[in-house]
Amino acid sequence: MRRRKGQGGIRFAVRVELILLLALGCVTIGRELTGRWQASARMGEGTAWSSESGEAVEATADGYIKWVEFNVTCEAMAEAYGQDVDSYGKEPHLDWIELLAYAGARTGGAFDGGSVRLIREAAEKIAGGRTTMAELTEDMEYYDYYLEAYGAVLGGMVGEFSLKEDEGWKSYYGLKAFSPIAKGFDYSHYDDFGASRSYGYARPHLGHDMMGQIGTPIIAVESGVVEALGWNQYGGWRIGIRSFDGRRYYYYAHLRQNYPYAEGLAEGDVVTAGDVIGYMGHTGYSVKENVNNIETVHLHWGLQLIFDESQKEGDNEIWVDCYELSKFLYRNRSEVAKAAGTKEWKRVREMRDPEAEKHCKNNASMIQ
């Protein structure tokens, strides 16, 4: 009897093991299908799943991207950026967005510690003349998608610019985008993209909150045109700045009560990356203007991608998670100084952005 009972116990253990293996297999398959669905969703409406190739097949009838998940880590951006800057003026010059798009295409947009290695290995092969980016990506069906998507997020952030030195203007190449919080001002933040919000109606949080002190100078991340300025029921006193290529719309909200903006700032103005554009506060959540209804003092800044003008406002807006980008931009914070006898802060080092000068020149010629 004991023997039979032992055999029954063994059979029971085997059944349990088989059940556990089956459950593990279901979880693995579920994760794979979820990953496939997410990859398909990134391509936008009309995307179909190809069981033969195991990859998403783009079928967007309108010809522009409908959805972007920006999961690139700060570490991956730093590695790609370093390769770009180190190779500037050499042949071949490594483009950081191309390197990130390569890594994104390899992993379906998922970034982790291994992504830095992928970027570094690709850069070494290209720099060593063993291959080219075109050769590396020729069989990657979605490299072009990631190149356009990541280019839309990061397109205006690296390039040539000039800084005013004691001896005059000096040219540089590198990061010409800035953290939205001025240098020397403390803040705290965490990844809150997608968190629930209930004021007015239930919705996800489509921006990044950076908590600090009232009056902290807010900085233009990228050069562009002031497209919106004034009160918004949800964002309080806010600023909207559009990049010159039209792809990026920067949204800065909950600015200071009574003194939200840099002096003289107006819609239609051209701002240069690093300029002080406003001051941190906690206005918003009110139909009445100039009300502090936000509990925590912070800057809400968001980045909207616009591939087609129909996406600017409405149900088809594309907002991306800026947490990792905020961490990356920490390396470039605009130094500011208080203007004596005023509430104003001004940037210490003047900068010339060729794209801003080009925009102003083109507009002036059109007016003439």
Phi/psi of residue 321, each to 5°? -70, 125
Q: What is the pLDDT of residues 65-103, one digit of tens each?
A: 999 999 999 999 999 999 999 999 999 999 999 999 999
Please give the pLDDT value at position 315. Answer: 82
Please give the pLDDT value at position 365. Answer: 63
Residue holding tokens 């998922």? 110
How do the residues of the chain divide into helix, strand and coil, expressed in percent and rounded to 5? 35, 25, 40
Please give the pLDDT value at position 251. Answer: 98
**Three-state DSSP class for 150?**
helix
Q: Which fold has domain 178-367?
A: Glucose Permease (Domain IIA) (2.70.70)
Phi-psi region of 272 (alpha: psi -120 to 50; beta: other; left: phi over 0): beta
Please give the pLDDT value at position 363. Answer: 85
Residues of the chain with pLDDT under 50: 1-14, 16-61
State how far the Cα of 249 lies from the Cα of 240, in Å rounded to an integer: 7
Q: What is the pLDDT of residues 173-185, one digit of tens each?
A: 999 999 999 999 9
Domain limits, the chain: 74-154, 178-367
Please give the pLDDT value at position 302. Answer: 98
For the stretch 56-65, contacts whose Cβ atoms lie closer than 8 Å and that sit 24 or more positions apart, written own/partner, are 56/142, 58/142, 58/145, 62/308, 64/307, 64/308, 65/145, 65/148, 65/149, 65/152, 65/305, 65/307, 65/318
State how far the Cα of 229 lies from the Cα of 236, in Å rounded to an integer: 10
CB 118 within 8 A of CB 102: yes
Q: At what angle do helices 2-43 and 143-154 cross, to 10 degrees?
A: 60
Strand partners, 298: 211, 281
State how far the Cα of 224 lies from the Cα of 40, in Å rounded to an integer: 32
Please give the pLDDT value at position 314. Answer: 84
Stretch (H or E) spanning 300: strand 298-305
